[in-house]
């Protein structure tokens, strides 16, 4: 996601989206977009969902091509997949999520008036409470919110 200006600096978000149901299963936020931010988002996703054998797709940003990030994936037996050079549509699901976050939440707020700590809580609540558990997600059969759809599928 492009950085959001806050009253005390710029805020970056790294998120992990599960393509099965569109759920954001891991995220991390910080004042930089270094590899550690992406590693933390993946680690958070790994804690929430079993990462063994997962295919982790990303763009070709230096954070995702770093040795440290590739080692993090390897430790969890995750398989790395990357967009082709100049092929932005390869990462369309993630880009679509970021566009939704901006349109439905961030463009409604003058983020420059608020500190990063406050904006982190706004983004976290939007994703974990609203997006994952309440928002209609038309890609899922029945339009079920991502987390609810997963629960329904697991209960069958």
Q: First-to-last CA distance in the chain?
A: 35
Q: 51 or 15, which is more confident?
A: 15
DSSP line for 35-76: HHHHHHHHHHHHHHS--TT-EEEE---HHHHSHHHHHHHHHT
Classified as helix, coil or strand, 19 is coil
Q: What are the structural domains, with CATH classification, of the chain? A: 4-155 (3.30.420.10)
Q: Is the dihedral of CA 71, 97, 13, 154 positive or negative?
A: negative
The pLDDT tens digits for 92-123 are 999 999 999 999 999 999 999 999 999 999 99
pLDDT band at 87; cut points 50, 70, 90: confident
Mean pLDDT of the chain: 93
Q: Is 142 left (phi over 0), alpha (psi -120 to 50) or beta?
A: left
């Amino acid at each position: 996601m492009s950085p959001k200006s806050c009253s005390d600096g710029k805020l970056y978000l790294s998120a992990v989206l599960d393509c099965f149901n569109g759920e954001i299963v891991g995220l991390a936020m910080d004042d930089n977009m270094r590899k550690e931010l992406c590693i933390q988002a993946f680690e958070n996703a790994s804690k929430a969902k079993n990462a063994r054998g997962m295919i982790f797709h990303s763009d070709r940003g230096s954070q995702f091509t770093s040795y440290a990030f590739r080692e993090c994936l390897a430790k969890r037996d995750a398989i790395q997949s990357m967009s082709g050079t100049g092929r932005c549509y390869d990462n369309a699901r993630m880009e679509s999520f970021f566009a939704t976050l901006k349109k439905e939440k961030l463009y409604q707020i003058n983020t420059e008036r608020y500190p990063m700590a406050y904006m982190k809580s706004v983004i976290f609540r939007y994703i974990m409470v609203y997006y994952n558990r309440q928002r209609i997600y038309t890609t899922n059969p029945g339009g079920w919110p991502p987390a609810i759809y997963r629960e329904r599928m697991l209960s069958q």
